[in-house]
Amino acid sequence: MAVGEELGERKLTILKAIIQNYLETGEPVGSRTLSKYTDLKLSSATIRNEMADLEELGYIFQPHTSAGRIPSDKGYRFYVDMLMEEKEQELEEIKNIMLDKTEKVDKVLQKAAKMLAVNTNYATMISAPMNSKNTLKFIQLSQVDEEQIVAVIVMNGNIIKNKIIHVGETLSNENLLKLNMLLNTTLNGMAIDQINLGLIARLKEEAGIHSQVIRHVLDAVAEIIHVDDDMEIYTSGATNIFKYPELSDKQSAQEIISAFEEKQQLAELVTETLSSEEHQGIQVYIGDETPVKTMKDCSVVTATYELGEGMKGTIGIIGPKRMDYEHVMKTLKTLQVELEGINKKENPEG
């Protein structure tokens, strides 16, 4: 039975009014006070009758003669349960809105990939936006056995990851504490791209004989925060490759089609694009320059788009080296602006 179902709407409204009024004032609540609540629209006599019923049901009681009523433990429990039920409904509504928003973004990206392929006559890909600026909140190192420790890595958004690290030695509690303090005082709030060689060298120097432990931990952090291999990538127009004789021989075409089907190599292209600041605009890879080995006979043009602070994705067009670069770059720029416009429409003040 849902909270308050046994009471009926009128008793429910009066009970809520009594509890809220008592929580605000700390004074027993009478029928005259409740009759002043504009949303009740009930006479004092009606309110008194309902209050008598609520008292009989055990939700309120009269602390002394001629006083108003105050909530009983049962009344408080009812109120708390009702609030929790309302909060759960709110959370469910928020969840549904977020799911709906995600579905909309997915559909927009799928349509954009298709539109791009039709507009250019080349193969296209768009990666779903990811947080490329995930930051560290906390690292906890603990001994597992004589030669292994576990690193619990907490990232922004309370994303928690565990990594078993083989250190080949037993670390004392004191040494583990020192390493934990060193890591957290230095790395707290940092994004992976801020952990540079100079910082790593300083950490290893301060760790002394345990410098290799620091190296293993930082490797684990990089592995965890790195762009996920299972990223969502939307593709279209892979068969456009067959329109170009220099790419349509059996082996070249098959390798390119496989790259689009398996998407692993496309994920590497996205990682390359997102990880370098110089690639944040439009980037053109020609032949051997491309990070995707199977596309050495192609040109790959990419652009980064942003749907919110740190939420970035990659748009890519793959075609022959004789592609129409001017048209491709103009089309990419237009789509980049349109995708970033989605975030501005949903967050006009952002």
- Per-residue pLDDT tens for 23-43? 778 889 888 888 877 567 788
- Is 96 or 196 the better-scoring residue by pLDDT? 196
**What order do you get walking across the sheet with 148-155 strand by strand?**
136-143, 148-155, 159-166
Q: Where does residue 92 rank: exposed (0-12), middle (13-18), buried (19+ CB within 10 A)?
A: exposed
Q: Grade residue 318 by pLDDT with cuts at 50, 70 and 90.
A: very high
More confident residue, 122 or 77: 122
The reported pLDDT for the residue numbered 276 is 61
Q: What pLDDT is stored for residue 280 in this prediction?
A: 60
For strand 70-71 and strand 159-166, is the pairing parallel, antiparallel, or unpaired? unpaired
| Burial class of residue 38 (count of CB atoms within 10 Å of its CB; 0-12, 13-18, 19+) | exposed
SS3 content of the chain, % helix, strand, coil (to 5): 55, 20, 25
Hey, how many other C-beta atoms are within 10 angstroms of the C-beta on 178? 16
pLDDT for the residue numbered 7 = 78
**DSSP-assigned letters across all residues of 81-114:** HHHHHHHHHHHHHHHHHHHHHHHHHHHHHHHHHH
Q: If you write DSSP's letter for every residue of 244-282 in order, what string do you get?
A: STTT-SHHHHHHHHHHHHH-HHHHHHHHHHHH-GGGSSE
Tokens of 188: 């707290």
Q: How far is CA 93 from the centre of its chain?
A: 17
CB-neighbour burial class of residue 161 (10 A; exposed 0-12, middle 13-18, buried 19+): middle
- Residue 300: HSE in the Cβ half-sphere, 13 Å Cα cutoff: 26
Angstrom CA distances, 323 to 118, 185, 241, 269, 286, stand at 14, 51, 11, 19, 10
Q: 221-266, pLDDT tens digit by residue?
A: 777 655 444 578 899 998 888 888 888 776 778 888 888 887 878 8
- Segment 307-326 shows an average pLDDT of 82
* Element of type H or E holding 325: helix 325-346
